[in-house]
Amino acid sequence: MGISKTKKTKATIAKKKVIIRKRNKYGIWQYGGRKQAQKRFGTSGATHEAEHVVGYKVLAPDLTRGESGEARVLEQFAPAYQEAYALHRNHIGTGNKSTADGSGFNAAGYRAAQRAALEENSVSNAVQLNQLGYGFDKDFHKNQTGLITADKSYVVMIENMDRITYGKADGSTASVSVDAIDRAEMYLARKAARTGKWPTADEIKQAKQKFGIKC
């Protein structure tokens, strides 16, 4: 899902109020701020889980999770939101599922595709792949309270994302920036996955306006 950049190559990014809990260095849109996110959205480990929209194994395939300072930094500062528990458990990116889901990916293929998107400097494409996996779960199209809460958490995450940093095989890191067009595309990707329908022209226009993109 892409938004044309021909009319506005340098989109004006609307200023967003950054929600940071005092004395906490992580935002509620980052994995490290998941406990604060639970308090903000009224969730718990029984109802929701923190969803890495770009998984740890994508960000740091050469670092054992939690084993080093570098590994912890990459994970804790990675974007995440509160997704409904059962749906997160069933997602192709959770665990090491060898059987492909409705999107055509198994866990390894999904992670490889996300990694390729990052290396091509497209955070939007990586996150759209994440939401695509949910879009093929029929329960994702229901308007349950838990999913509505997840929607709100997801929007806060994309409003505050400005970059994603990932590890490289040589031990260095690289960062991919996120602009207003990326945010609009990620916003629309959630809507499409939730409804099972391609966004209408009006929805695309509204998304552009929301993120300060001139139509």
For residue 80, the surrounding DSSP H or E stretch is strand 80-84
Distances (CA, A) of 33 to 155, 157, 159, 190: 15, 11, 15, 21
pLDDT at 11: 37
Which segments within 149-196 are labelled E, that is strand? 163-167, 173-177
> In the chain, which residues have pLDDT < 50?
5-23
Structure tokens at 137: 């779960």
User: Do 89 and 53 touch, CB atoms closer than 8 A?
Assistant: no
Task: Identify the pLDDT of residue 54.
Answer: 98
pLDDT of 12:
34
Distances (CA, A) of 35 to 49, 107, 137, 179, 182: 10, 26, 27, 27, 26
Q: For residue 158, what are its two tokens?
A: 């994309």
- 207-212 contacts, C-beta under 8 A, 24 or more apart: 207/3, 208/3, 208/184, 210/14, 210/184, 211/11, 211/13, 211/14, 211/180, 211/181, 211/183, 211/184, 211/187, 212/11, 212/12, 212/13, 212/14, 212/180
What local confidence, expressed as pLDDT, does residue 196 receive? 94
Regarding pTM above 0.85, the answer is yes
| pLDDT for the residue numbered 4 | 53
What pLDDT does residue 13 have?
A: 32
Residue 215 has a pLDDT of 78
Kindly report, residue by residue over 122-146, the tens digit of the pLDDT: 999 999 999 999 999 999 999 889 9
User: Which pLDDT score, from 0 to 100, does residue 24 have?
Assistant: 58
